[in-house]
Amino acid sequence: MTGEVALAVLLLGPLLAALGCLLAGRQGSTVALLALIAGAAAVVVLWDGMLRTGPIEVRLGGWGAPLGIVLRADGLAVGFLAAAVVVMGAVWAVARHDFATPRARDVFWPSSMLLWGALNAIMVSRDLFNLYVGLELLTLTAVAMVALGRGPGAIEAALRYVLYALMGSLVYLLGVVLVYHGHGTLDLDRIAAGRSGADALALGLMTAGLAIKTALFPFHAWLPPAHAGAPSPASALLSALVPKAGFVMLVRLWFEAMPDATPPAALAVMAALGAGAILHGGLMALRQERLKQILAYSTVAQLGYLFVMFPLVGGAGAGTAGAAEAWAGTQIGAFSHALAKAAVFLCAALWIRAIGSDRLADLAGLARAMPLSCFAFGMAAVSLMGLPPSGGFIAKYLVMRASFELGLPGWGLVLAAGGLLAAAYFYRPLAALFAREPPRVQRTPRLLEAVPLALALAAAALGVLSQPAYDLLQAGAPAYARGIGP
Amino acid sequence: MTGSVVLFVVTASALIGIGLWGFLVQAHLLRRVLAFNVVGSGLFLLFGALGWRGGGVDPVPQALVITGIVVALAATAVALWLVGRFAEETGRADLPEDRREDRQEKSSAGGRP
Amino acid sequence: MTVLFDLVLCALMLLAALAAIGGRGLFRATVFFVAYGITVALAWVRLGAIDVALAEAAIGAGLTGLLLLGAVARLRRAGAPEFPVRAGLVPALAAAGVAGATGWVALRVPGAGGLWTEAGEALPLSGVENPVTAVLLNFRAWDTLLESIVLLAALLAVWALAREEEWEAPVGPPLHARPGGVLEGMARLLPPVGIVVGVFLVWAGASQPGGAFQGGTVLAAVGLIAALAGLVALPRPDSGSWRTALAAGPAVFLLVGASGLALGGLLLFPPDWAKAMILTVEVFLTLSIAATLALLVLGPPQPRRMP
Amino acid sequence: MNALPVVILLTSLLPAAVTFFLPQEQHAWRNGLNLGGAVIKLGLVVVLMGAVAEGIEPEARLPLAPGLDLVLRADDLSLLFVSLSAFLWLLTTVYAISYFGEKPELSRFFGFFSLCVAATTGLALSGTLITFFVFFELLTLSTWPLVAHKQDDQSLAAARSYVLYALPGSVAVLVAIIWLEGLVGTVAFAAPPDLSGVDRWSLTLIFVLFVGGLGVKAAIVPLHGWLPGAMAAPAPVSSLLHAVAVVKAGAFGIVRVVYDIFGVARVQELGLGTPLAVVASVTILWGSVRALQQMELKKRLAYSTVSQVSYIVLGTALAGPFGTIGGLVHLVHQGIMKITLFFCAGLYDERAGARRIEQLDGLGQRMPWTSAAFSVGAMGMIGLPPIAGFVSKVYLGVGAVQSGELWVLAVLGASTLLNAAYFLPLLWRIWFLPPQTEGIGATPIPFAAVDERVPGLVVPAMLTALTSVAAGLFAASAFSPLGWATLIAGGAYSP
């Protein structure tokens, strides 16, 4: 029951808070803070409860599948719930100073709460259609945030985002219709229990739709302008959290609902798209002149990392220790990317406040004026490059080791190349920050600079305290990702 | 499966195809939003036709379709206002990558008259 | 006979869709789209799904058509090619492939039979007699709750498009109906009728087709006409009372859903109280949906020239 | 006792963490913190040495994921390196405090400085391959801001080229580690893995990846390109870089790979010993030749490092206890002698403005202590008795004979001649040529105003010079570097 209450706080809390923000106007941030505190407490309760009694399941309205909707907080979900509340908290602290005008304030606070609520709903939902509604909510709030951007490209970016998202959701929904036709249910576990001739096409359609929404290469064209064009605190949310929702849905589909409908070739295609994302995103990031664009292309590349897991967890290695390593490594990578990417975008937010630009040339010498945030940027970059000591390193190490253990070293080498590319494209902003001439800056409170630092430290700490994260991820993981056979 | 079910399933699939084609080939943003709505209603119709039995439709798909219609409206509204705002700023109703004239201008600027 | 009717209906749908996609002129395409929506609503009637038919007619054809028409007006001066830019084999094949594969699989793969039985068995416990309403507001209430929030999120996204200095202005384009004109007369006549219809749709939704979304749409339409005639002043986005109207429905839904925790589970409606709880939710939800839809059609606040 | 390695690591890690957040003006706190950490560390290392000498090998372990533990463990090889770094860190800290005075950005500098030393310590005390890699990367990252510290174009370019070389090297090491672990499971140094089931080609490739990746840091030709540029860094950084931190980490890693992963016998069986010796020899000669061509003092010293560090690799590549001892002991000897030279180069630059070799003319008169220390270091590098370098070369020579690789003797001979050729002219200029008071070679500081008397700079240089003499004179003692290296070699060749 405590688990159910905690879940209710995380699902209904943000939505109520959004309504509260809408009504509170000027006091929006205070309402959001209260919801965040409650949410953080709820995450702690869930985490603890889950480690003691296993995944927490709630049958909404008491109905249960197939008629009703089932929610389940497993290790994967709780991990993302935790990452979301941490990132939201950090963004709150910076956004409080950033969104000062009535319009920005009145749109941002309710939208951010809705975005958080939608994320939470997606992480725990076990129902394909409910996931669709959650994903639409997430997309529309994300579009609202992009449209808040002040740059000339923001409207165009939001427009492109919405067009891609519209098509993505319809294609996904088409798959859902076929699943319902073939299985007579929308519940992930019940789908897993049966088989239907429609599964392959349905999975293909749903995957294509979600790939568009997750900006998986080659469907990524909408992401960089959107994430670079949004106001920076919003970019932190968009880049760190939003694409993870589609990723989690893909993982649930491929490894929980339809593990039998996924031939090795399909798994390899997913990983190949991931590899394409790593290389293309990395090379594009190298060519950008604005920090936020570098970070946005970096997100494209980093999302690719997550898909390299597919042939390692499924396929021939399913059930081995290698599969378990790839699974945990990838999810730890997703968490640390969330923390580190939020950190770098919040750094960008502070710097744009301070010097009014995010061109690399204008950032020159900032290390002297704003050492704390530059240090935070460096640490977060280290995690994103996958260098120790950081969560990003543990992630890369585990997945690479799995790829060698399973006799598929090619995928591991792609990760290694991606790490080098990341080092290359982060080197340019880092070197710029370190240049000699200090720019003229507006004073930034030290406490504000500590916010990205805290996130970067958390990403680094994930590299040292990865055992708890590993244990968490094993709770409720599919059998073949726990190293105990399919 | 009765003849009418087949008919509706085929029609719904065709509607999806028509809409999808429109969405993919057209540049005018309003037309693309319109095409999106054609795909949507075709998809909903498919859902209903597959759940059709004699006098009515499975209530679960019915409810899901109603939800879907509302969600599609929400997305359409956002998209259309965005298009309007985009046109206000740029005077255009198509995205730069879809402009044929641009491509021609570019290629002619590239040295080939 | 029915087969013939079905054939004609399907042919009409396809023709209307083709005309909407390929018709010359934006205005004409939009009109064909509305016509298409009406034929689709008819198809739903034919399938015996009156709830969906109402939703499709009111929202899919009506409101969407209204939004499209508004956009056509706004885009009159915007440049864009009228004809396909990427006409070629690849998009055609992609579209045909998706559609063909879907249709083929849908026909070839035997259906699992859906959830008729489960829904029928659970209906007596749901507190309402209309199975669609039971699914929407009880079995899958979480979907519907999120859906009402989706509308709100869309409104926020539309409002995000306002320019900073316009935030104080009323929403929507400047309207000016001629005093004493036809519009005003109609606007005076329609609201009472519309409100009655809207309320009936909600009330009836418990046992017959209809419900909060259909009712809310009718109310929104009434409100829009009244606003168009200048009978109702358009609100500013920071208006407290309007925001309360927007939030009331989802808020009541959320609170009722949360109160389920005390009764045994999240979003739980005990059979004895279910009807009262669902009706309470529906009443407030209708109000909020009406307000949200109307504001979605009106769009972001826009500048007004001083008269 | 098991916590001791962790505590030793913390003596540099904690000062690093605190120093970053100290305001620039808090000189006393910063200096106290860093000196205190260094002194405590040296004391603890002595305690640890006693423990290891008694046969105890303390170990601490932090699990990160199944099959992935961070292990800190002290054995005799790690102690050789950790004692060198502890001793030289203390002296370098003293030197750096005087060198920088109250210049800007010192909190950043000392933060990364301590972090760099923490990484070296962790690397020395690593018990598993992956732990080694974690600290190896920490070293790469913490060195970058030190090289770039001056923030001028030259430093930034040097830092850039450093990363450009180091990161691909790291990737090679990581791939090698993961490949190996995929074949034989987690690799711990205390229990070398059983490689008998692994095919020859995989092992050879893994070995090449290891040596290639570590060789970047050890500046093996042709992977040495970053090192000469890195002399753009401030003198204390160069001292640390060339004596203990980066190049030594690479050499130490190669030693670990050869002795504690593959084993000398398997390296020979795979036929990898001789190629490694050849690469090392080429590096030795090439570095010396290039050093000869340099007219800037620090550049000449940098190429000398390229050459000298490969003595360690050479010793490792020779099968046989004497070669091993020669290589291991040079790990320490080269560090002590090279740091002396860089301390002195910093003194010449800072106190006399002399950077080019012709500017050294006659400086022996104004800077006798510095020049004496410099001379000891230079003669040690040439291999003149009784300085430490002599011991190294003797053992390497005997090792070459022992393993039947007689051509190595020729390399050693040629290298000694080259060493003499690029060091002796310096000593000649310093002691015997008259000062250039005007003209091209003249120093920016008037000759008469040159004053070396800054105890914080001169005393460390004198101490390291004395130590390198003592290491040669008392080589026979059990606690001399030679004694310790003999102990390790005994372990490597015991059945």
Angstrom distance (rounded) from CA D183 to CA D196? 11
A263 has a pLDDT exceeding 90:
no
**Range of B69's domain?**
3-109
Contact B63, C142 (CB under 8 A): no
The one-letter code for the residue type at B35 is A
- The reply to whether residue C149 touches residue A114, judged by beta carbons under 8 angstroms, is yes
Q: Which residues pair with A127 in a beta bridge?
A: A187
Q: What is the mean pLDDT of residues D216-233?
A: 90
- The reply to whether residue B86 touches residue A67, judged by beta carbons under 8 angstroms, is no
Element holding D68 (H helix, E strand): strand D68-73
Q: What is the mean pLDDT of residues B17-38?
A: 94
Residue range C271-295, pLDDT digits in tens: 889 999 999 999 999 999 999 999 9
Q: What per-residue confidence (pLDDT) applies to C180?
A: 62
Interface pTM (ipTM) of the complex? 0.92
The tokens for A170 are 């319809």
Say if residue C60 is in the same domain as residue C134.
Answer: no
Nearest residue in chain C measured CA to CA from A64: C139
- Percent of chain D having pLDDT more than 70? 99
- Mutation target for B interface from A136, A141, A162: give the one with most B CBs within 10 A: A162
Contact C169, C304 (CB under 8 A): yes
Contact A286, A429 (CB under 8 A): no
pLDDT band at B106 (very low <50, low <70, confident <90, very high): very low
Say if residue C268 is in the same domain as residue C148.
Answer: yes
C-alpha distances out from residue C299 to C67, D1, D155, Å: 9, 72, 56
CB atoms within 10 A of CB D274: 17
Q: Is the four-CA dihedral D67, D68, D73, D76 of positive or negative sign?
A: positive
A486 has a pLDDT exceeding 50:
no
**Does the beta carbon of A154 lie under 8 angstroms from any beta carbon of chain C?**
no
Contact A337, A392 (CB under 8 A): yes
Strands (E), A74-147: none
Contact D172, D140 (CB under 8 A): no
Residue range A328-371, pLDDT digits in tens: 999 999 999 999 999 999 999 999 999 988 999 899 888 888 98
**Does the beta carbon of D184 lie under 8 angstroms from any beta carbon of chain A?**
no
- The reply to whether residue A397 touches residue D178, judged by beta carbons under 8 angstroms, is yes
Where residue B87 sits, what CATH number does that domain have? Answer: 1.10.287.3510
C154 has a pLDDT exceeding 60:
yes
Say if residue C142 is in the same domain as residue C37.
Answer: no
Strand, coil or helix: C103? helix
Question: Of the segments A2-6, A148-152, A453-457, which one has the largest average pLDDT value?
Answer: A453-457
Contact A428, A359 (CB under 8 A): no
**Range of C218's domain?**
120-307
- The reply to whether residue A325 touches residue D105, judged by beta carbons under 8 angstroms, is no
Q: What per-residue confidence (pLDDT) applies to D66?
A: 75
Smallest CA–CA separation between B109 and chain A, in Å?
23
**Does the beta carbon of A65 lie under 8 angstroms from any beta carbon of chain C?**
no
**Does the beta carbon of A468 lie under 8 angstroms from any beta carbon of chain D?**
no
pLDDT band at C175 (very low <50, low <70, confident <90, very high): low
- The reply to whether residue D151 touches residue A435, judged by beta carbons under 8 angstroms, is yes
Residue range B78-89, pLDDT digits in tens: 999 999 999 988
Residue range A391-424, pLDDT digits in tens: 999 999 999 999 999 999 999 999 999 999 999 9
Q: What per-residue confidence (pLDDT) applies to C177?
A: 55
- The reply to whether residue A467 touches residue D64, judged by beta carbons under 8 angstroms, is yes
Q: What length is written for chain D?
A: 495
Contact D452, D458 (CB under 8 A): yes
Strands (E), D329-472: none
Angstrom distance (rounded) from CA D125 to CA D71? 8
- Selecting from C109, C114, C161 the residue whose C-beta is nearest the C-beta of A197 gives C109
Q: Residue with structure tokens 């604005």? A: A290
What single-letter DSSP state applies at residue C11? H
Nearest residue in chain C measured CA to CA from B25: C86
- The reply to whether residue A431 touches residue D156, judged by beta carbons under 8 angstroms, is yes
Is C111 a member of any domain?
Answer: no
Strand, coil or helix: C200? helix
β pairing state of D68-73 and D59-65 = antiparallel
Say if residue C49 is in the same domain as residue C149.
Answer: no
Q: Cα–chain-centroid distance for residue A254?
A: 18
Chain D segment 139-178 residues within 8 A of A by beta carbon are 140-141, 145, 148, 151-152, 156, 159-160, 163, 167-168, 170-171, 174-175, 178
Angstrom distance (rounded) from CA A269 to CA D85? 50
Q: What per-residue confidence (pLDDT) applies to B110?
A: 33
Q: What is the mean pLDDT of residues D310-315?
A: 94
- The reply to whether residue B69 touches residue C33, judged by beta carbons under 8 angstroms, is no
Task: State the Rg of chain D over Cα.
Answer: 21
Q: Of the candidates A133, B59, A109, which has an alpha carbon nearest to the alpha carbon of residue C145?
A: A133
Is C250 a member of any domain?
Answer: yes
Number of domains, chain C: 2
What single-letter DSSP state applies at residue A296? H
Torsion of CA C22, C28, B91, C300, to 10 degrees: -120
- Selecting from C153, C238, C258 the residue whose C-beta is nearest the C-beta of A12 gives C258
C-alpha distances out from residue D101 to D12, D15, D22, D106, Å: 21, 19, 16, 9
- Selecting from A129, A140, A155 the residue whose C-beta is nearest the C-beta of B74 gives A140
